[in-house]
Structure formats: structure tokens, C-alpha cells
Chains A and B, each alone.
Chain A
Amino acid sequence: MELLQSQAGTNTVEDIEKDLHRQFPFHEMFAQRGGTGQQDLYNILYAYAVYNPKDGYCQAHAPIAAVLLMHMPAEEAFWCMVAMFDFYIPGYFSPGLEVVQVDGSVMQGLLRAVCPIIHKHMEKHNVSPMLYCTEWFMCIFSRTLPWPSVLRLWDMFFCEGVKTVFRCGLVLLRSTLGSSEVLKQLPGLYETMEKLRKIDQKVMQPEVLMHEIIELKVSESDLENEHRRQQKQWKSQQPASPVRLVKRIYRYTPTHQFNHSNKKSEKGSKQETECHQHKHSANNGADQKSGEEKQTSV
């Protein structure tokens, strides 16, 4: 790839190399130091830092690239990552993490509607959403959920966009903190955070989690409205902030234009292996995703 021949920002190589052996070290693909898995990972991360020099390398790129690499060859994984970052979660990895912070407030706003007692508790103890959401959002739960759930959630994410991430977060919050008995036992910020660090495995099993996510009553327009509200608020608080209103993909349709791709790949990912169990992605997961994976002549 041409991108690999180009020069990335200072320290990029060093920074990436420090993280290579820390991505899913128990997965056979990445277990070996300097093995092909780690080399591919390096290539993707480096290429992205060159491709998007404004953002450069962000440590949260690594787990995402690693998950993609487990399902497709390096070049496709790279373009899939580009599509994710451009259309699904635009602005997430900017140097000031503004979009993630706005999304944290969106989460807080949705929490007020979905589960007011948790919202009240969080406000009372000053638990900022950034304390628990940062990793959830920026890694699309790949470092939080058990693996089968990661795959299912990612399938939903590719089909339905970022709202799945919010829904998943809300479900986890609700099932972990959603009763006044539990909240009574959490006298402060620290205890609350400790509780959220140890979410019950049962809650995170795909059968339970996916069902809850689908059932959760948070619609696209709920999310959009809250998003608009929080962006406005962010703007008024930090007028100099570079955040601009972004349109995010909620549902893939073939009409989306990808301006930096020459042709689309016919190859789907292997990630749909579990799709058949899932009503949202049952029939169209493969088609939708293949549209995102672009091949170019680089």
C-alpha cells in the first residue's frame, strides 16, 4: 500500500509499536511477537495515521483494527476501519476527543429518560459519563463484552449504526445499577465505578444482552434529538471547539457515496457467522457490510 511508504507524524511508529503486543494477546493471531497478525495490525494502524494525519494514531484504533483483522485481510480491514470512522463514528478520535465527550452527554441525557434513578445517582455523585463511556464508545465494546456478544453487537452496529452502542451502554447501566437497592449500597463515585467495572457476566451473555438491546425503547429520533441538544450545549459552552454537526449513519443503504473508493469489494466479511440468530441482521448483514469494505488501488 502506498500509505505505508509515506511518512506519518512524529512518534507514530514508536507509539504504535508499543501497543501491538497488547491487542488480544491471547488470540492466536496476535500471540506471537512480530508475527503476521501483529505486522498486519501495524500496517493498518500506520496506514491510517498517514491517511488521516489530523487525527493520527489513537490508542483506541488498535482494538478496533484487531477485531476487523480477525475477520478479513489487512487491506479490507483498513478500508472497513476508514468507513467506520468516517460514517459511523465520525470525529471520535480527534485530538481533543470532543465528539466522544458530546456523546457522553448524550448518553447521560438518554439515561435520564430510560432510567431516571440511575441518572439521579450519577448526578448526585458526580459520575461523569466519560468515566465509563470512553472505553465503551471508542472500542465499540470490544474490550468490555464477552466475545460472542462483541460479534453480535458489531453486526448490529454495522447494520444500524451508532445507536446500538448507546443502547448497549444503557442496557448495561440499567441491568447493573437499575434498582434502588443496588444504588443504596453505592455511597459514592468510586463504588459506582467499581460496580460498573464488574458487570455481571450473565447480563453480558449474547442471548440476554441482544434481546435487551432490541427491546430498549430508544429510537433513532430520540438519539438524534438528544445529540442535537448536547451539541448545541457543547457549542455554547466551548465556542472555540471544532465540533461541527455531524450526520451519522444509522442504516446502511447502497446509495451512500464513498468518495475515496474506486470500486466496492464483492467480498463480505466472516463476521456474519452469528447473524442468523439475530433478527436485525439476519438476511442483510453480509450485503450491508460488503458495501463498507472498499478496495482501492493503493
Chain B
Amino acid sequence: DMGVGKSCLLHQFTEKKFMADCPHTIGVEFGTRIIEVSGQKIKLQIWDTAGQERFRAVTRSYYRGAAGALMVYDITRRSTYNHLSSWLTDARNLTNPNTVKFSINKYTITGEQYRVMKEIPAVIWSHMVPVQVVAELTVSTVGNTGTSPVPLESSTRTAGVLSLEDILSLGKTDNSSDSGEEDVIFLIGNKGDLDAQRDVTYEEAKQFADENG
């Protein structure tokens, strides 16, 4: 859905930098990063699609040929989580069902996991892609017209961790495309730093993932 942080996540992954006020995507964006899987360099191409419903008309046609997908929701907005199933249906319907078997959510990355990972010594951090999210504790002033969100606090900190291992397994499926082809869909609960405003629990997300693959 819109505003869950897809482009921000991609930017973080490709540039290793957090981008505040990331412009919303109109149409499609792209990102590339070269990763190494068992000594072999693989160019990972990531398509970043617009989140607003009407752009699906445009982006849908590009699901075909994908080796995997990342489905992102915002842990502080339940509606974005509730819509996951419709995105999943799209993804399933629009990829080639004969050659593709989905296994969903090998990894659910949420704030909880991040907290565990935070204990990991700094050395290992270099192998990870920290997903930084600006803490936007926003309150809407009274009423729903003419008011804008007022930031209470705005700071940048590391929020979730998308470990390179996760992406590697994505790369691996890409690599072993001739035998037992399997596409991977990752489920990412973004904005893990806004844990206080959490609306979707980790367990729920895990259940969703388990149910669907």
C-alpha cells in the first residue's frame, strides 16, 4: 500500500542510506545491487512499484518473470496489513503458475527480530542491510479537514534489519532456476522503530505467512 516505505527500503538497500521524505513512486522505480552467492556475483534487480491502487493497472504487467517478491506493510497501520492478501493474489495470478511455486515468508522481519539482532556485535552488522526509518510520531490535530500531521519527534534510527542472508536466498532461487524453481515472497513489516504505535503483531504476520505458504 502507499506510504509503507517501499521506496525507502529499496533506497536503503541499494544506496545504504536512509532517505527521509522519500518521494512517492509514480509508475515504477528500479534499483540494482550486486550480491555474491557462493562466490558468484549476481546482479539483483529490484522493481519498486507504486503503492496506490490505481497504479496497479500499470505495474501489474511486470510481475511476470520475477524471481521473488517483497511484500511490505506498515506495522503501525493495520489496513496495509489487511491488504496483503490482495497483493498476494495479484502476485500469484500474474506470475506463471506452471513454472513457479511460491513459498511465502521464509523470513518475517519485524521490530521483534530487530531487537534480537541488535544484540549482534557490530562486525556482523556490515553483512546486514539496516533498514532505517524515521520515527514520525505524528498526531493529527482535531478534525479531518485543513489539518496536517504535526511531528512530535523526528529522528533517524535503525529500525529493522533486512539481513543479506534473506536476500541471498532470493538470489539463490534465481540462480537455480532450472531445477525445482521456486519463487520467494518476503513479508516485511516496515517502520519497526514505531513499535509503540504497533497495530499488527509479529505473531499475526507470521501466521499470515504460514497460512499462505
What residues make up the interface of A, taking CB atoms closer than 8 Å to B? 4-5, 11, 13, 15, 17-23, 25, 33-34, 38-39, 42-43, 46, 58-60, 62, 93-98, 100-101, 128, 130-131, 133-135, 138-139, 143, 190, 193-194, 197
Give me 17 other A-B pairs in contact (C-beta within 8 A), A13-B145, A18-B2, A33-B154 excluded: A15-B2, A20-B148, A21-B21, A21-B149, A25-B21, A33-B148, A39-B146, A39-B147, A59-B50, A59-B52, A93-B54, A94-B54, A101-B57, A131-B28, A133-B27, A134-B58, A190-B32
Q: When the two chains form their complex, are residues A19 and B149 in contact, meaning their CB atoms are under 8 A apart?
A: no
Q: When the two chains form their complex, are residues B148 and A38 in contact, meaning their CB atoms are under 8 A apart?
A: yes
Out of A22, A42, A100, A190, name the residue touching B23 (CB < 8 Å): A22
Q: When the two chains form their complex, are residues B28 and A95 in contact, meaning their CB atoms are under 8 A apart?
A: no
Out of B45, B57, B149, name the residue touching A96 (CB < 8 Å): B57
Out of B21, B24, B32, B55, name the residue touching A194 (CB < 8 Å): B32
Rounded to whole angstroms, the CA-CA distance of A18 and B24 in the bound complex is 9
Q: Does B150 contact A (CB under 8 A)?
A: yes
> Within 8 Å CB of B147, what residues of A?
39, 42
Q: When the two chains form their complex, are residues B144 and A18 in contact, meaning their CB atoms are under 8 A apart?
A: no
Rounded to whole angstroms, the CA-CA distance of A169 and B114 in the bound complex is 44
> Within 8 Å CB of B26, what residues of A?
59-60, 134-135, 138-139, 143
Q: Does B22 contact A (CB under 8 A)?
A: yes
Complex A-B: 17 CB contacts under 8 Å? A17-B148, A18-B2, A22-B21, A23-B23, A33-B154, A42-B148, A46-B146, A59-B26, A93-B54, A94-B54, A97-B54, A97-B58, A133-B27, A134-B58, A190-B45, A193-B30, A197-B30
Q: When the two chains form their complex, are residues A17 and B54 in contact, meaning their CB atoms are under 8 A apart?
A: no
For residue B192, give the distance in angstroms from its CB to the closest CB of chain A.
Answer: 18
Rounded to whole angstroms, the CA-CA distance of A129 and B26 in the bound complex is 14
Q: When A46-B145, A58-B54, A101-B58 are in contact, do A190 and B2 touch as well, CB less than 8 Å?
A: no
> Within 8 Å CB of B148, what residues of A?
17, 20, 33-34, 38-39, 42
Rounded to whole angstroms, the CA-CA distance of A18 and B148 in the bound complex is 9
> Within 8 Å CB of B40, what residues of A?
none
Q: When the two chains form their complex, are residues B2 and A4 in contact, meaning their CB atoms are under 8 A apart?
A: no
> Within 8 Å CB of A42, what residues of B?
146-148
Rounded to whole angstroms, the CA-CA distance of A131 and B47 in the bound complex is 11
Q: When the two chains form their complex, are residues B58 and A34 in contact, meaning their CB atoms are under 8 A apart?
A: no
Q: When the two chains form their complex, are residues B52 and A58 in contact, meaning their CB atoms are under 8 A apart?
A: yes
Provide the B42-54 mask, 1 if CB < 8 A to any CB of A, else 0. Answer: 0001000010111
> Within 8 Å CB of B22, what residues of A?
22
> Within 8 Å CB of B45, what residues of A?
190
Give A17's nearest chain B residue, CB to CB.
B149
Rounded to whole angstroms, the CA-CA distance of A13 and B30 in the bound complex is 29
User: Closest 6 CB pairs between A and B?
Assistant: A134-B27, A18-B3, A25-B21, A34-B148, A135-B26, A13-B144
Q: Does B151 contact A (CB under 8 A)?
A: yes
Q: When the two chains form their complex, are residues B23 and A143 in contact, meaning their CB atoms are under 8 A apart?
A: yes
Q: Does B61 contact A (CB under 8 A)?
A: yes
For residue B5, give the distance in angstroms from its CB to the closest CB of chain A.
Answer: 11
Q: Does B140 contact A (CB under 8 A)?
A: yes
Rounded to whole angstroms, the CA-CA distance of A17 and B2 in the bound complex is 11
Q: When the two chains form their complex, are residues B61 and A128 in contact, meaning their CB atoms are under 8 A apart?
A: yes
Give A6's nearest chain B residue, CB to CB.
B145
The residue in B20, B21, B151, B154 that gathers the most chain A C-beta atoms within 10 A of its C-beta is B21
Rounded to whole angstroms, the CA-CA distance of A285 and B141 in the bound complex is 41
For residue A136, give the distance in angstroms from its CB to the closest CB of chain B.
Answer: 9
Rounded to whole angstroms, the CA-CA distance of A211 and B154 in the bound complex is 44
Out of A13, A34, A58, name the residue touching B151 (CB < 8 Å): A34
For residue B62, give the distance in angstroms from its CB to the closest CB of chain A.
Answer: 8
Q: When the two chains form their complex, are residues A190 and B146 in contact, meaning their CB atoms are under 8 A apart?
A: no
Q: When the two chains form their complex, are residues B53 and A97 in contact, meaning their CB atoms are under 8 A apart?
A: no
Give A138's nearest chain B residue, CB to CB.
B26
The residue in A17, A23, A62, A133 that gathers the most chain B C-beta atoms within 10 A of its C-beta is A17
Q: When the two chains form their complex, are residues A131 and B2 in contact, meaning their CB atoms are under 8 A apart?
A: no
Rounded to whole angstroms, the CA-CA distance of A128 and B53 in the bound complex is 20
